[in-house]
Amino acid sequence: MDLDIVSIIEKKKFGHELSKEEIAFFANGAANGSIKDYQLSALLMAIRLMGMNRRETVDLTLSMAESGDQVDLSAIPGVPTDKHSTGGVGDTTTLVLAPLVAACGVPVAKMSGRGLGHTGGTLDKLESIQGFRVGLTMEEFIAQVQRIGLAVIGQSQNLAPADKALYALRDVTSTVDSLPLIASSIMSKKLASGAKAIVLDVKTGSGAIMHTLENSIELAQAMVRIGTDAGRRMVALVTDMGEPLGSHVGNALEVKEAIDVLSCRVTGPLLEVSLALGAQMLIAAYAAATVEEAEGKLLNALRTGQGLEKLRDMLIAQGGDPRVCDDVSRLPQARVIREVPALGEGFIQSMETTRLGNLAQHIGAGRREKTDVIDYSVGFVLHHRIGDYVGVGEPIATAYCRNEDDADLAELSIQNAIPILRHRVPPLKLVHAIVEEDQITRC
């Protein structure tokens, strides 16, 4: 059957279902450049307006995954497991849960990304550790997971090239907010990465891709169904991003917080969400039958120091300085440190999480352009959470900056992003729902 992109655009424009062959033609044309950008954009808009059903979304995901390299993890014993977050601020769960899960005997073979917009990237955080290499070959990647049970690397340049082409167009054609396009974009890379069990962390709230709980649950269910239909063990947690998850925001600062958690020096929301996600990873890999059993194993790995040792093993294997596990002062240090005082007395009402993430980017912790050079030392530490009482002049944060001008910007931005009023508000719930293929459990 001869296919042409104009007929496919016409078909979707009127809300008709696309065939598997038509979707593959579209994805391959995006990957190899044989379909013009203006035609791809037209079809993206038609999909944004008319939607896709479950079968179409799965076919699009698989076609994008098959448009480039596909990683074969069959040589790794057990069930290679991965975790993916839809992006957040202060979201350092990978650096906490990946070592803990690996310490429980479940292989974690993870391909991660860099920071995008207001959200931080796991690779950037790891590269704040002197010498750490994220660019392993596939042979090195698989061999490391076979040897120590854990590796976190950058994605192959040829991983889901169709998604790279379409993602760039979505950003400039107002088609980013399409559920089938979001779900297929995320899941095409996850399926191509080869993990047999995948736990999704779908954020909701002011710092998330989906701001409402219902939309976040809908996205989670779409991705879980895609992965299940592709033969993966899948589950998603919908977690809150109405405020930064961890108290530390910025690359080296977030590594410090992860090490503090693994060293049992601090607890709190970052640990709680890491344990919730890690428990689902153990269950998905058949290493535990219940959440209680799984969390017990993870807590044992935490308390005995096995999780921290597994992080140390990964740093050694990938060229990073393992001494940071014992001395976090070996991480990059900012030149200017400033306390940020509360301007009023009362209770923290909310946090503009996206604004806080953008602040970290503007003072050097993220990139506005691909060519920007990150300053790993900069960022800020929040001293309170929503619902906490603060007095006038009490420090609500500490800013870590390159210069005084950046510190001025950080002070003003943090104060404006964290309103303080007289009435008390409750703390945010951390986990809102557990989403499986045909079941949604509200927490």
Tell which phi-psi region holds residue 59, choosing left (phi > 0), alpha (psi between -120 and 50) or beta: alpha
Distance CA 24, CA 271 (A): 41
Distance CA 104, CA 24 (A): 40
Helices (H) and strands (E) in the chain, counts: 16, 14
Backbone angles phi, psi at 58, to 5 degrees: -65, -45
Is there a contact between 150 and 111 (Cβ–Cβ < 8 Å)?
Answer: no
Q: For 116, which DSSP code?
A: B
Q: For 322, which DSSP code?
A: G
Contacts of 438 (CB under 8 A, 6+ apart): none
Distance CA 60, CA 57 (A): 5
Distance CA 385, CA 378 (A): 21
Contacts of 65 (CB under 8 A, 6+ apart): 160, 187, 188, 189, 191, 192
Contacts of 223 (CB under 8 A, 6+ apart): 183, 186, 187, 200, 202, 234, 236
Distance CA 302, CA 73 (A): 27
Distance CA 252, CA 273 (A): 20
The DSSP bridge pattern shows strands 150-154 and 108-112 to be parallel
DSSP string, 3-37: --HHHHHHHHHTTPPPPHHHHHHHHHHHHHT-S-H
Catalytic residues: 84, 163, 170, 185, 189
